[in-house]
Structure 1
Amino acid sequence: MLSFPTVVFTFLLVVVAAYWFIVITGLFDFEDGEAPWLGLGGVPAGIALSLLIAFAWLLTLIGSQVTPGIALPAVPIIALLGAWLGTRALLSPLRRLLPDARRPSRGDFVGQMCVIRTGQATADFGQAEVTAPDGSTAIVQVRTTGQDRLARGDNGLIFEYDTNGEFFWVMPYESEH
């Protein structure tokens, strides 16, 4: 495990084990995106990379035992290729099990029209109702810029989300009927 060529992937396998320990224990909250590069998309990147590294390590271990000394430097490259093929083969059925839908986020409201629901919306306070693309509605915190004030029932256009203050910036919006 600690001799060439297996040592090439041993360190990465330790990193994978540490990653899964952290995920399982919940010490940190990872936002795990996909890994579309090299055809490994459709599943979380943590799963794709874990499988790739585990397969590469295993194939390198096997290759180091069955390969004569002269071909030993080629083992990690061949193992990586075999691991990629094996990972792609395993991920194919996994893709069907995982939902394809993207998680909604607050950023989805940027560019949407909203209706003020409090007495008024100012630079310091306000709430508005906004309709998401899926048809659901939400009451969100809003703020206006400068001297703009929006009264209850006025339309506003959400143009930015402030992550620090957790509110949306709005400006007056007049629809063309």
Structure 2
Amino acid sequence: MTEFLHAVLGFPTVLFSFLLVVVVGYWIAALTGLLDLDDVDASWLGLAGVPAGATLSIVIVLSWLLSLIGGQLVTGLPLQLAVLIVALAGGWSGARLLVRPLRRLYPDDRAPSRHDFVGRHCVIRTGQATPDFGQAEVTAADGSSAVIQVRTTGDDRLARGDNALIFDYSPDGEIFLVMPYERDH
């Protein structure tokens, strides 16, 4: 038991041992409901599709294991520093392999938003669209359509059947700002 403690508390494993304690604390807090598992995405690590808490946990556990094994095989500071670097790289590489199948557990089901219509074209459905009045039909990315409240800016006036481009959304009154748009067929 003392050899194990010596290995866990020896350099470079001690760095990952501290992080491993943090990971265990994170998972205890997550399992008791103190933390939400659906935290930020780890795309900044090149490990997108799985929450950062899970991804970092995998990186830390794998790095800890690799540094524990490597720390037993080498002696001397230069080689121990090499073990530290190899453990980090190996933990990250191993996490990349393990995260791929986990991505299916975290589908990218972002809730639809009215802001999704910004940048889409629409067709004016009322007699005209002005800075004070107008409705248009817009088609969402999934193929469904919606009738929305639209307003023009400046002196623009659009007639029924005209194509327009939605360039902004105002949550106050749920109004979309549109401008004339010539659509190439």
Under TM normalisation by the shorter chain, which class is it?
A: 0.5 to 0.7
Identity of aligned residues (%): 52
* Paired AA for residue 32 in structure 1: D
1:123 to 109, 131, 135: 131
Please tell me whether residue 44 in structure 1 is matched to residue 50 in structure 2: yes
- CA offsets 1:120-170 (integer angstroms, 9 cap, x no match): 54435544320123311123343311122445x343422423466564321
Query: Paired residues, what number?
Result: 172
Structure-2-length-normalised TM-score: 0.61
Counting only pairs closer than 5 Å after superposition, residues 9-158 of structure 1 correspond to structure 2 as 9=16, 14=22, 18=26, 21=29, 25=34, 30=39, 32=41, 34=43, 37=46, 40-41=47-48, 43-44=49-50, 46=52, 47-64=54-71, 66-70=72-76, 71-95=79-103, 99=107, 106=114, 108-117=116-125, 121-124=129-132, 126-150=134-158, 153-158=160-165
- CA offsets 1:46-93 (integer angstroms, 9 cap, x no match): 2433322332234334544x2454132222212123213322332233
**Contact 2:121–2:164 (CA<8 Å) still a contact in 1?**
yes
Structure 2 unaligned spans of 5+ = 1-7
**Contact 2:50–2:102 (CA<8 Å) still a contact in 1?**
no
Q: Larger Cα Rg: Structure 1 or Structure 2?
A: 2
Distance 1:10 1:141, change over 3 A: farther
CA RMSD of aligned residues (A): 4.3
**Contact 2:124–2:164 (CA<8 Å) still a contact in 1?**
no
Please tell me whether residue 8 in structure 1 is matched to residue 15 in structure 2: yes
